[in-house]
């Protein structure tokens, strides 16, 4: 006997409803990516590896939130009507900071050689957002050479945070 697992085919079959984010009711389409809803509502949430065009890479853990009391990645969580999301609870903030601290083991907290010193640096912006003043995990230089041979990108291993964005973009975009 086969199961009938048909997906909604008309807009009338798509479920919409309300979730709560930080105690605020938000109207959503069930199944929307939680991180996209948070970004559309312009709520602050660190997100180092996430890029809307790449989808959830799930390598950085900086987008950790509490959903119904459980810590989850906002990038990999789909909305369900009635869910209760906390982006700024003590547990979520602690998980976000811990994840970002691990990333800083791959990058100097105060980098002066970055081409993105124009406000477009995810590391610098996240440092400000999380109010990080000291690097707990010491930076370790990587044993690889700088590679400037490709006209489309440059690779400096000491600026790489191992988020996986470049790998995902090359593989799937």
Over residues 56-85, mean pLDDT: 96
Mean pLDDT for all residues in the chain: 87
Predicted pLDDT of residue 110: 72
CB 114, CB 121: distance < 8 Å: yes
27 forms bridges with which residues in the sheet? 18
User: Please, how many CA atoms are within 13 Å of residue 74, restricted to the half-sphere of its CB?
Assistant: 30
The residue behind tokens 């984010």 is 21
* Pairing between β-strand 70-73 and β-strand 84-86 as defined by DSSP bridges: unpaired
Tell whether 65 is covered by a domain.
yes
Predicted pLDDT of residue 113: 62
- Banded pLDDT at 2 (limits 50, 70, 90): very low
Number of domains in the chain: 1
Structural domain span for residue 132: 15-139+156-161
pTM comes to 0.82
The residue behind tokens 């996986």 is 164
Closest by alpha carbon to 85, among 107, 106, 65?
Answer: 65
28 forms bridges with which residues in the sheet? 17
Tell whether 128 is covered by a domain.
yes
- Banded pLDDT at 1 (limits 50, 70, 90): very low
- Banded pLDDT at 4 (limits 50, 70, 90): very low
**CATH code of the domain covering residue 128:** 3.10.20.740
For the stretch 77-109, pLDDT in tens is 999 999 999 999 999 999 999 999 999 998 877
Tell whether 147 is covered by a domain.
no
């Amino acid at each position: 006997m086969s199961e009938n697992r048909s997906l909604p085919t008309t807009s009338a079959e798509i479920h919409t409803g309300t979730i709560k984010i930080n105690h605020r009711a938000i109207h959503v389409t069930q199944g929307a990516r939680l991180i996209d809803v948070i970004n559309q509502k312009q709520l602050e949430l660190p997100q180092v590896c996430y890029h809307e065009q790449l989808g959830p890479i799930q390598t950085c853990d900086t987008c950790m939130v509490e959903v119904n009391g459980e810590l989850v990645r906002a990038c990999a969580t789909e909305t369900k009507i009635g869910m209760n999301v906390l982006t700024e609870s003590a547990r979520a903030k602690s998980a976000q900071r811990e994840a970002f601290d691990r990333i800083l083991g791959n990058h100097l907290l105060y980098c002066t050689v970055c081409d993105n010193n124009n406000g477009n640096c995810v590391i610098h912006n996240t440092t400000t957002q999380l109010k990080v003043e000291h690097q707990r995990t010491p930076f370790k230089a990587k044993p690889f050479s700088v590679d400037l041979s490709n006209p489309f990108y440059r690779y400096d291993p000491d600026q790489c945070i191992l988020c996986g964005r470049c790998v995902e973009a090359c593989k799937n975009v």
